[in-house]
Structure 1
Amino acid sequence: MSSLSTHVLDAVAGAPAAGIAVVLYRDTEVVGSGATDADGRIASLGAALPPGTYRLVFATGAYFAECGVESFYPEVAVTFVVIEERHYHVPLLLSPFAFSTYRGS
């Protein structure tokens, strides 16, 4: 079975994005959830993931509202496929009007 972690960086602040709520779905089922720590990380989100299609949903609007910053995206959803047994890491680089992601290591 595979494992998953994530990391969110606030590109405007140049710092980790702490306190972002994250939910992991497999199809429509919630299989994990948490909030980023002071380093912007969630070390383990959904242990023992079988192959399939998953979606991470980051509550970015609430994060920027808490920071007093206007933003365009109320949430960011990243859909990805678990194919082989390994550790998956999905980083998110975030700003109020843009984001990017990639498969990390």
Structure 2
Amino acid sequence: MITLSSHVLDTTLGKPAKKLPLSLTLPDGSLHNGITDEDGRCNACGVEAFLPGVYQLRFHCEAYLTEKHGDSFYPFVDIHFSMEENGGHYHVPLLLSPYGFSSYRGS
């Protein structure tokens, strides 16, 4: 079984990025939308089952960064990643600031 979650942390404020919209593109091209909760987390974007393949998470961060920091170099951040059969749980965190970001495969 493959599962997916994400977490967005505002590294400038040292807090979760609340209510940040994101979209998930599946290998078949279908698009699913989500939004981070009060803890900056989003689980699966409403997708019930994942198949192996290449996925894209797009974090729509411009409005959030402009509101919180007065500026945004990034209108969005795209992260492409592969999920494999029997890959278990995939956690894709985004560490975000107005002028930088980082991501990794979390647990």
CA distance in 2: counterparts of 1:41 and 1:64, whole angstroms: 17
| CA root-mean-square deviation | 1.3
AA of the residue aligned to 2:63: A
CA positional deviation for 1:97: 0.5
Q: TM-score, normalised by structure 1?
A: 0.91
Partner of 2:100: 98
Q: TM-score, normalised by structure 2?
A: 0.90
- Indicate whether 1:18 and 2:18 are aligned: yes
CA contact (8 A) 2:69 2:98 kept: no
CA positional deviation for 1:84: 2.6
Name the SS of the counterpart of 1:50 in structure 2.
coil
Partner of 1:69: 70
Q: Which runs of 5+ in 2 are unaligned?
A: none
Q: Which runs of 5+ in 1 are unaligned?
A: none
CA distance in 2: counterparts of 1:11 and 1:82, whole angstroms: 27
CA contact (8 A) 1:24 1:54 kept: yes
Q: Percent identity?
A: 47
Count of residue pairs the alignment pairs up:
104
